[in-house]
Amino acid sequence: MTSTVPAVTAPAAATREKQSHRRLLMCSAKHFRIDYEINPYMHADVQPDPAAAAAEHDGIVAAHLAAGRTVEFVDADPACPDMTYTANAAAVRGDRAVLATLPPERAAETPHHRAWLEANGFDVADTPYAFSGQGDALACGDLLLAAHGQRTDIRAHRTLARHLGYEVVALRTTSTRWYDLDLALAVIHPGRTLAYNPEALDRASLRTVRGLGLDLIPVRPAEAAHFALNLISDGRTVTMTTGAPHLAADLRSLGLTVVELDTTELRKGGGGIRCTALTLDNPA
């Protein structure tokens, strides 16, 4: 597949953009385990190595700090083995948040997320419907690219629109392999550039994404299957997994600094770099 990489945009335009993805909430991988199997990548007989997982997580935190981002932490709970995937906590915009409604196996995380968000000044709303937080809700300027049909019930979208003031763009992935949208699609420059795996979105969603008027970087399915799209981009630095050289090269050709990190341990839980951070600085 040849990728159509959009032309490099003038840096002046980039600096006028409101900054985002530079204030992150994370949670240590101290209690990361596979206690249950709620996505096709989790196998209770393939456990993460605790020291390797801790080192991998430390490396991700260090990369964010080196990129000039701020990292805050919610305390890990030994009863919450998936809590290191903080992106699933909520969707956040300005000083407002919509708390996730996680699968029952992860429900014990939510009181911690609520407490952290409230203690840090966020006006927190709930939805009674399934909602996977930023796993299924990617901010792109005034748009919220929000999935439904896997971990998110479309009825949760109304709360996202109302409480956060986004125009919600509803998308559907094609399989449980893309149980969260952040495995299928990534925002590279909010309101300007997306990267996506065309095979992971259904036909109507492909039409929708292609009709947004944004620059699109197609990603090879094999790289997407390695969680290449599960990245954090602040529009200057992209922090992503190793094992996706074509996407890394496409991003570098746009003038971005690309930092590639090994995510072997996080992949055992069905996640990667994007999953480990809740972005707190989505402009209102």
- Pair 77, 31: CB distance under 8 Å: yes
- Residue 178: phi and psi, rounded to 5, are -115, 55
CB 180, min distance to ligand ARG, A: 4
Strand-pair partners of 92? 97
Any residues with CB less than 8 A from the CB of 103 and at least 6 apart, and which? 38, 130, 151
Nearer to ligand ARG, 247 or 254 (CB): 247
Candidates 1-9, 72-80, 85-93, 161-169; binding stretch for ligand ARG (CB under 6 A): 85-93
Which of 182, 171, 205, 223 is CA-nearest to residue 3?
Answer: 223
Rule CB under 6 A: is residue 85 a binding residue for ligand ARG?
yes
- Pair 256, 232: CB distance under 8 Å: no
Nearer to ligand ARG, 5 or 261 (CB): 261
Binder among 26, 29, 63, 87 for ligand ARG (CB under 6 A): 87
d(CA 1, CA 172): 23
Nearer to ligand ARG, 235 or 269 (CB): 269
What x-and-dash track marks residues 20-59 binding ligand ARG by CB under 6 A? ------------------xx--x-----------------
d(CA 158, CA 131): 11
Using CB under 6 A as the binding rule, the residues of this chain from 101 to 130 that contact ligand ARG are: 106
Nearer to ligand ARG, 42 or 125 (CB): 42
Nearer to ligand ARG, 231 or 254 (CB): 231
Rule CB under 6 A: is residue 270 a binding residue for ligand ARG?
yes
Candidates 168-176, 188-196, 238-246, 269-277; binding stretch for ligand ARG (CB under 6 A): 269-277
Nearer to ligand ARG, 88 or 159 (CB): 88
CB 30, min distance to ligand ARG, A: 16
Q: How large is the C-alpha radius of gyration of the chain?
A: 17
- Burial readout 226-249 (b: 16 or more C-beta within 10 A, e: otherwise): bbbbbbbbbbbbbbbbebbebbbe
d(CA 171, CA 178): 12
Rule CB under 6 A: is residue 196 a binding residue for ligand ARG?
no
Rule CB under 6 A: is residue 82 a binding residue for ligand ARG?
yes
d(CA 7, CA 13): 13
- In the complex, the residues that contact ligand ARG under the rule CB under 6 A are 38-39, 42, 82, 85, 87-88, 106, 135, 180, 182-183, 269-271, 275
